[in-house]
Amino acid sequence: MHLTLNETRHVSLDYFGLAHASKSAAVLILPGGGYGFISPRESAPIAEAFNQQGFQSLVLNYSVAEHRGYQHALDDVHAAFQAIAAHQEDWRIDPQKVILIGFSAGGHLAAAYASTTTTYRPALVVLGYACILASMNDLLAIEGPSLDRLVTPANPPTFLFGTAEDDLVPVDNTLAFMAALSRAKVPFEGHIFQFGPHGLSLGTSRTADGDPRQIDPHYATWFPRCLEWIDRSVD
């Protein structure tokens, strides 16, 4: 199902539902793309992977390109949570068990939303090689604060992963957010893999687009580790 949230900015929500499922936890996925586009490698393949594990899955196509903007993107996530609440019966989603997942620029948006929202709070947050520091603003072509400075004890428990070899979004971004969570005493789990470029997504042939450099079995263990963490963290 494809739901338009903002026609002017081309914002929409794609729902990957489990047929005949009872109300269950859901993942709201924010793909990367540097706020210039929505990465397909971090969209449907991620939704389908979580679907296969029993989650209702949604992908938010947030404001990008000429419509990019820090506040626009935050408003888009809020609108997505509003839509989930409005359609919780049709989509068979427990609104208290929505997990916010973001990759790269989508991770920037997920971290920003989780650290600032006062309504529609995600139950858990997952950040993959996320942009966090204000030093990334030029790359993202947006204006926004260093997100580690926004973390409070109210932040949801968070799972983070990335690679030390990432030369586009330095691992310092993930480490800074981990340190902020630790200072605020927010539960978190982090995995820094030594090898791998930026944007590995699942790290399997499913998201490699035929490029063997995008396949890394060790890095790919982030997904089962994340599932185990969710299982232990969600009420």
Tens-digit pLDDT profile for residues 19-55: 666 778 999 999 999 999 999 999 999 999 999 999 9
Q: What is the pTM of this model?
A: 0.96
CA distances from 133 to 74, 136, 149, 169 (A): 17, 6, 9, 10
Q: What is the pLDDT of residues 113-144, one digit of tens each?
A: 999 999 999 999 999 999 999 999 999 999 99
Q: Which residues of the chain have pLDDT under 70?
A: 19-21, 235
Q: Which of 198, 205, 215, 206 is nearest to 45 (CA)?
A: 206
β pairing state of 11-16 and 158-163: unpaired
Domain ranges for the chain, please list them.
2-233
d(C-alpha 17, C-alpha 137), whole Å: 35
- Could you tell me the fold of the domain covering 2-233? Rossmann fold (3.40.50)
